């Protein structure tokens, strides 16, 4: 099959190659891929930024989101059959959606929402699971609380705003002024133009911050939280608790503890909680997200669709940081 691979960590583009079609394990389903979406995580893995916590073997097929049709099932598969239209964020170390086929454990798979195209469905899993695990699992966001979601027009932001509104929260977000109309339509209550305004001078007594920006922005975000508030970061710095949860070697735990010591110290001084979130694959949560999509509580925002052969161009477009919502690669 055709697939976009890297043979080593690199700042350069992916290589289109012929590789074997994956074999199907007993608990796996083989998908013919119709669409995949691009995430900044692909760039971070490609360049080796996460090699300490995700030590992949080379050659590696990149890609973390997929929508397609099941063409083969393993002997122990219970919940899916050949012909099912499904979508997924495959588990770490089982990624590889920039390809014609992929084999995925059925626990990471959900039926595609009936009201979405393949391209729309492929845009959902990673960002929606990130938003769910941040706001529902970690933050336990409740009706009447206030949440600050940074970079509202990004992939995670567009879904997180809708989910937070569904949970009954007041939502503040940052974006450029030209995105305000879209974000208001998604449910944002407080819109801050990051080019002209300082969010820390406008927001106060917030219950939750979802940080996706740099450390400087994260530090400012701590100051807008009320005592006992929660700062959840998807862009780092990772903590030793995270390292322990994923079972990294002891020296990685020590290193991550040192890297996050400054921000943890500041959070403690302010009486707020800091945690790092690296989302995990979860088919059960994805099914709950599917229900919200079919109820039209959440709708995906797709910025641009590239043909499969232009996967490198799609990755470059995302790396430039100007995408509104998600960027998708279409195979069929």
pLDDT digits (tens, 9 = 90+) for 35-81: 999 999 999 999 999 898 889 999 999 999 999 999 999 999 999 99
Is there a domain that residue 170 lies in? yes
Is there a domain that residue 291 lies in? no
pLDDT digits (tens, 9 = 90+) for 161-173: 999 999 999 999 9
**Higher confidence at residue 198 or residue 244?**
198
Question: In three state form, how does the secondary structure of the chain look?
Answer: CEEEEECCCCCCCCEEEECCCCCCCCCEEEEEEEEEEECHHHHHHHCCCCCCCCCCCCCEECCCEEEEEEEEECCCCCCCCCCCEEEECCCCCCCCCCECEEEEEHHHEEECCCCCCHHHHHCCHHHHHHHHHHHHHHCCCCCCCEEEECCCCCHHHHHHHHHHHHCCCEEEEEECHHHHHHHHHHCCCEEEECCCCCHHHHCCCEEEEEECCCHHHHHHHHCCEEEEEEEEECCCCCCHHHHHHCCCCHHHHHHHHHHHHHHHHHHHHHCCEEEECCCCCCHHHHHHHHHHHHCCCCCCCEEEEEEHHHHHHHHHHHHCCCCCCEEEEECC
Is there a domain that residue 114 lies in? yes
Percentage of the residues of the chain whose pLDDT score is greater than 70: 100
What is the domain range of residue 33?
A: 2-124+300-330
Is there a domain that residue 202 lies in? yes
Say yes or no to pLDDT of 240 above 80. Answer: no
pLDDT digits (tens, 9 = 90+) for 87-98: 999 999 999 999
Is there a domain that residue 282 lies in? no
What is the tally of structural domains in the chain? 2
What span, in angstroms and rounded, lies between the C-alpha atoms of 258 and 252?
Answer: 10
Residue 110 has a pLDDT of: 98
Report the CATH number that the domain containing residue 70 is assigned in CATH: 3.90.180.10
Percentage of the residues of the chain whose pLDDT score is greater than 90: 89
Is there a domain that residue 94 lies in? yes
**Higher confidence at residue 296 or residue 236?**
296
Q: Are residues 27 and 132 in the same domain?
A: no
Is there a domain that residue 286 lies in? no
pLDDT digits (tens, 9 = 90+) for 100-133: 999 999 999 999 999 999 999 999 999 999 999 9
Band of the pLDDT at 214, cuts 50, 70, 90? very high
Q: What is the mean pLDDT of the chain?
A: 95
Say yes or no to pLDDT of 322 above 90. Answer: no
Say yes or no to pLDDT of 85 above 90. Answer: yes
**Higher confidence at residue 90 or residue 244?**
90
Q: Are residues 107 and 210 in the same domain?
A: no
pTM for the predicted model, two decimal places: 0.96
Is there a domain that residue 289 lies in? no
**Higher confidence at residue 16 or residue 260?**
16
Report the CATH number that the domain containing residue 150 is assigned in CATH: 3.40.50.720
Q: Are residues 210 and 312 in the same domain?
A: no
Say yes or no to pLDDT of 238 above 90. Answer: no
Residue 239 has a pLDDT of: 81
């Amino acid at each position: 099959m055709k697939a976009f691979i890297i043979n080593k960590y690199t700042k350069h583009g992916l290589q289109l190659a012929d590789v074997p079609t994956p074999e199907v394990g007993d608990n796996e389903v083989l998908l013919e891929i119709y669409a995949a979406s691009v995430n900044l995580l692909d760039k971070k893995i490609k360049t080796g930024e996460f090699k300490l916590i995700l030590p992949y073997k080379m050659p590696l097929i990149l890609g973390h989101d997929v929508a397609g049709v099941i063409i083969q099932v393993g002997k122990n598969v219970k919940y899916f059959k050949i012909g099912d239209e499904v979508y997924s964020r495959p588990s770490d170390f089982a990624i590889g959606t920039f390809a014609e086929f992929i084999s995925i454990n059925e626990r990471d798979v959900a039926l595609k929402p009936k009201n979405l195209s393949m391209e729309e469905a492929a845009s959902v899993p990673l960002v929606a699971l990130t938003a769910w695990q941040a706001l529902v699992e970690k933050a336990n966001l409740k009706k009447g609380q206030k949440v600050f979601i940074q970079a509202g027009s990004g992939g995670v932001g567009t879904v997180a705003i809708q989910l937070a509104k569904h949970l009954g929260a007041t939502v503040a977000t940052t974006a450029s002024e030209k995105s305000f109309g879209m974000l208001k339509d998604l449910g944002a209550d407080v819109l801050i133009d990051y080019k002209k305004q300082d969010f820390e001078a406008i927001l106060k007594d917030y219950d939750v911050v979802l940080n996706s920006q740099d450390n400087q922005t994260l530090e400012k975000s701590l100051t807008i939280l009320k005592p006992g508030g929660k700062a959840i970061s998807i862009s780092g710095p990772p903590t030793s608790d995270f390292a322990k949860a994923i079972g990294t070697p002891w020296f990685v735990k020590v290193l991550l503890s040192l890297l996050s010591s400054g921000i943890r110290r500041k959070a403690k001084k302010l009486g707020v909680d800091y945690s790092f979130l690296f989302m995990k694959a979860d088919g059960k949560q994805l099914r709950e997200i599917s229900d919200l999509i079919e109820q039209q509580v959440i709708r995906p925002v797709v910025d641009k669709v590239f043909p499969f052969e232009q996967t490198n161009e799609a990755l470059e477009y995302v790396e430039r940081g100007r995408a509104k919502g998600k960027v998708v690669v279409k195979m069929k």
